Amino acid sequence: MSWIRERELSFLERLTANILKAGPMPKHVAFIMDGNRRFAQKAHVQRQEGHSQGFEKLAETLRWCLNLGIHEVTVYAFSIENFKRSKEEVDGLMELARQKFSRLLTEQENLEKHGVCIRVLGDLTLLPADLQQLIAKSVVATKAHNKCFLNVCFAYTSRYEIASAVKEMAWGVEQGLIKSSDVSEVLLSECLYSSNSPNPDLLIRTSGEVRLSDFLLWQTSYSCLVFQSVLWPEYSFWNLCEAVLQYQLSYQSLQKARDLHREGQALQQMEEDRSCVAELLQHRGNGKLVDSQSRQKELLNYIASREERVRCFLNALQMFYPVLWGSGYV
Amino acid sequence: MALLNEMVWRFLHALLYVQRALLAWFRVHIWRWKRAVLGLLLPLALGFHNPKRAGPIGKRTSRRVRWGADGRTLEKLPLHLGLLITEEEIQFTDIANLVVWCMAVGISYVSVYDNQGVFRRNNSRLMEEILKQQQELLGMDRSKYSVEFMKNGADKQEHQVLSCQSVVKVLSPDDGRLSIVQAAQQLCRAVEQKEKTSKDINVTVLDSLLRESKNIPDPDLVLKFGPVESTLGFLPWHIRLTEIISMPSHVDVSYDDLFGALQRYAMCEQRLGK
């Protein structure tokens, strides 16, 4: 299959994988596949060839991830900022995407066999119309699969994604589905393109750069970040193992930080709910004091109605902004 | 078989733990040894070449001049440098040293962050340490620097100043995701009150709203101290293009450690998508 290399691990690789799997393993890994052009320069080939090799390496890496029990992978294929590159390079990348998505559509059986679900996240309206069609078909064809998930960020930046999520919540308010006080961290996360995925446990960036470049800024706040100096087309199974090891070393601290954050979030929500209820009672009451039992009852009612509102809003979003675009049309 | 794998895994992690502990021990002891040797040799050297020994004031001035000159030798200096502490135990003196060195080198905006809110809860203690170290290391008059501490809300403590040369901000996770959520709520309220429509919302609008309440410039460089490989909730919106350099620990950190990181930053190339 073109998107996932069909190749078994060597004995040593299998042994290493089994040893690593004795510890906590990331369930979702994100890759910033950087270094294609530098590789092309190093190998004295065209840039386009560098990108092509980069895709081959992606297919290989997906195979390694499956072997390591990592069932969700998100990759940064093309940033909105990359449109600034030369027309030749951008056209070349679009052509590569066309080839790969077209090829994907001819491999239905294999996709089903591996249970691969492909999602494409980004502002797809910026892409050529025919590519948008190919992407739509690929996403629809694999929508029902659930063994492993590949999220391709194409024409994507994190800030754009966050702003889109805010826009969707504002739309919800406009439609009277939710109130502005229902806006929370949890709700914003549900409105991101990546709402169908858990946050990445591990983010790997190759080629030695040590920045996030507008990739999954919200989702990777508590992820393990590993920066590796190897160029993407030269990535190896051992590099991946090294990154997973780094994840395992930071695991306890990250769990602790995530739990702390979650507690803070819950507290914040509780405070918000309480103040909304207080305001409600003030409006409703005639200066009468409300006893704590009624206040508690009101609070529970309020939380239930808030959760119902949010549920309806998220359902409406699914219908209005079809899932197959990952909200890319906003 | 699974048991064997687990045993090997435990052994591997034990090895790594020992390696990390050894490296940390070496780092601290070699630095202390270097400091002791310099402490012994330098006065001797000065004693041979300079009949007049530089007093404490002279030493501070020459250090201040040297650090300022160091800053000017760099291709580029970050406008905003973030100090991200992932370690549980925080040594306020070391943090204060880092802040003072940053100011001396010419960085105009320094932020200090930890994900448990320790700095936020102890910002007066941090402030005192910084002023103390400023005096100790630079001999500057207290009133010459503006040290502004950011709390969650409008309550800013500002030390009065004639020439505002550096700003120090204490940040916590509330300045990250929570601030974005608060900005989102504000926009939604505006939509509720028919002052805006959802179509008006885009990256620029959200960005300017975030800058309005807490005008934090995007960090150019974040120095992350400690073994945890994560930003732990540090300003997610702002770190879009931030260089993240890891340092092993803030405990007993030296000026050379800081300057090494700044040199590394000066050499990096930002292509901005191109």
- pLDDT tens digits along B100-116: 999 989 899 999 999 99
Q: Which amino acid is at B56?
A: P
Q: Residue A197: which of A119, A112, A81 has the closest Cα?
A: A119
Does B232 sit within 8 Å of A222, measured CB to CB? yes
Alpha carbon dihedral B63, B67, B68, B70, in 10-degree steps, equals: 140
Does B227 sit within 8 Å of A249, measured CB to CB? yes
Does A167 sit within 8 Å of B232, measured CB to CB? no
pLDDT value for A288: 67
Does B178 sit within 8 Å of A185, measured CB to CB? yes
pLDDT of A42 > 80? The answer is yes
Within 10 Å of residue B89's Cβ, how many Cβ atoms?
Answer: 10
Phi and psi torsions of B224, nearest 5°: -105, 120
Distance of residue B233 Cα from the nearest chain A Cα, in angstroms: 5
What residues of B are in contact with residue A254 (Cβ under 8 Å)? 228, 230
Nearest by CB to A221, which of B9, B116, B177?
Answer: B177
Phi and psi torsions of B150, nearest 5°: -95, 120
Residue A325 pLDDT level (bands cut at 50, 70, 90): very low
Within 10 Å of residue A84's Cβ, how many Cβ atoms?
Answer: 12
Does B12 sit within 8 Å of A185, measured CB to CB? no
pLDDT value for B43: 67
What residues of B are in contact with residue A29 (Cβ under 8 Å)? none
pLDDT of A313 > 60? The answer is yes
Going through A127-260 in order, the beta strands assigned E by DSSP cover 148-156, 202-205, 224-227
Q: State the residue for tokens 């009277």.
A: A176
Token couple for B59: 């030493």
Q: Residue A114: which of A104, A126, A124 has the closest Cα?
A: A104
Q: Which residue has the higher pLDDT, A165 or B69?
A: A165
Distance of residue A166 Cα from the nearest chain B Cα, in angstroms: 6
Instruction: Sort residue A155 into left (φ over 0), alpha (ψ -120 to 50) or beta.
Output: left
Touching check for B69 and chain A: CB below 8 Å? no
The rounded distance, in Å, linking the Cα atoms of B224 and A210 is: 12
Taking residues B253-268, what's their average pLDDT? 93
What residues of A are in contact with residue B1 (Cβ under 8 Å)? 18
**Closest residue, chain A, to B267 (C-alpha):** A209
**Closest residue, chain A, to B2 (C-alpha):** A22
pLDDT of B158 > 80? The answer is no
What residues of A are in contact with residue B183 (Cβ under 8 Å)? 166
Token couple for B62: 């020459």
The rounded distance, in Å, linking the Cα atoms of A166 and A99 is: 34
The rounded distance, in Å, linking the Cα atoms of B160 and B168 is: 14
Touching check for B268 and chain A: CB below 8 Å? yes
**Closest residue, chain A, to B180 (C-alpha):** A185
**Closest residue, chain B, to A221 (C-alpha):** B233
Does A163 sit within 8 Å of B201, measured CB to CB? yes
Residues A269/A240, Cβ–Cβ less than 8 Å:
no
What residues of B are in contact with residue A162 (Cβ under 8 Å)? 180, 206, 237
pLDDT value for A322: 56
pLDDT value for B154: 42
Residue B268 pLDDT level (bands cut at 50, 70, 90): confident
Distance of residue B161 Cα from the nearest chain A Cα, in angstroms: 35
Residues 244-263, chain B, touching A (beta carbon < 8 A)? 244-245
The percent of residues in chain B predicted with pLDDT above 70, rounded, is 84
SS3 A50: helix
pTM of the model: 0.90
Q: Residue A63: which of A73, A49, A75, A76 has the closest Cα?
A: A73
Q: State the residue for tokens 């330098």.
A: B42
The rounded distance, in Å, linking the Cα atoms of A319 and A317 is: 5
What residues of A are in contact with residue B178 (Cβ under 8 Å)? 185, 268
Please enumerate in sequence order all residues whose Cβ is within 8 A of that of B164, keeping only pairs 6 or more positions apart, or say none. Answer: B145, B146
**First and final CA of chain A: distance in angstroms?**
33
pLDDT of A168 > 80? The answer is yes
Q: Residue B261: which of B236, B224, B208 has the closest Cα?
A: B224
Please provide the DSSP assignment of chain B as one string. Answer: -HHHHHHHHHHHHHHHHHHHHHHHHHHHHHHHHHHHHHHHHHHHHHHHH-SSPP-HHHHHHHHHHHHHHHHHHSS---SEEEEEE--SS--HHHHHHHHHHHHHHT-SEEEEE-TT-HHHHTHHHHHHHHHHHIIIII---GGGS--EE--SSS--EE---SS---EEEEE-GGGTHHHHHHHHHHHHHHHHTTSS-GGG--HHHHHHHHHHHS-PPPPSEEEEESS--S-TTS-TTGGGG-EEEEES-STT--HHHHHHHHHHHHH----TT-
ipTM: 0.93
pLDDT tens digits, B133-151: 888 887 765 555 555 555 4
pLDDT tens digits, A46-84: 999 999 999 999 999 999 999 999 999 999 999 999 999
Taking residues A29-40, what's their average pLDDT? 96
pLDDT value for B65: 80
Residues A74/A216, Cβ–Cβ less than 8 Å:
yes
